[in-house]
Amino acid sequence: MNTIEISDVVKSYRRGKVEVRALRGATLTVPAGKLAVLKGRSGAGKTTLLNLLAGLDRADSGRIRVADTDVTAAGVDALVRLRRESVSVIYQHFALLPLLTTAENVGVPLRIVGAPRAEREARVADLLEKVGLARHAAQRPGELSGGQMQRVAIARALANDPSVLLADEPTAQLDSHTGAATMELLHGLVAERGMTALVATHDPMIEQLADVVLHLDDGIVSEAEPALSR
Q: 3-state DSSP: the chain helix, strand, coil percent, rounded to 5? A: 35, 25, 35
Distance in angstroms (rounded) separating the CA atoms of residues 59 and 61: 5
The answer to whether residue 21 sits within a structural domain is: no
CA 50 from centroid of its chain's CA atoms: 8
Domain count, the chain: 1
pLDDT (tens digit per residue) in 77-99: 999 999 998 999 998 888 999 99
pLDDT (tens digit per residue) in 55-82: 999 999 999 999 889 999 999 999 999 9
Host domain of residue 124: 31-58+75-221
pLDDT (tens digit per residue) in 100-138: 999 999 999 999 999 999 999 999 999 999 899 999 999
Bridge partner list, 30: 4
> What CATH number did the domain enclosing 204 receive?
3.40.50.300
Distance in angstroms (rounded) separating the CA atoms of residues 27 and 9: 7
The answer to whether residue 20 sits within a structural domain is: no
The answer to whether residue 43 sits within a structural domain is: yes
**Whole-number Cα distances in Å, 4 to 12, 79, 213:** 21, 15, 14
**For the whole model, what pTM was predicted?**
0.89
Contact call for residues 182 and 170 (beta carbons, < 8 A): yes
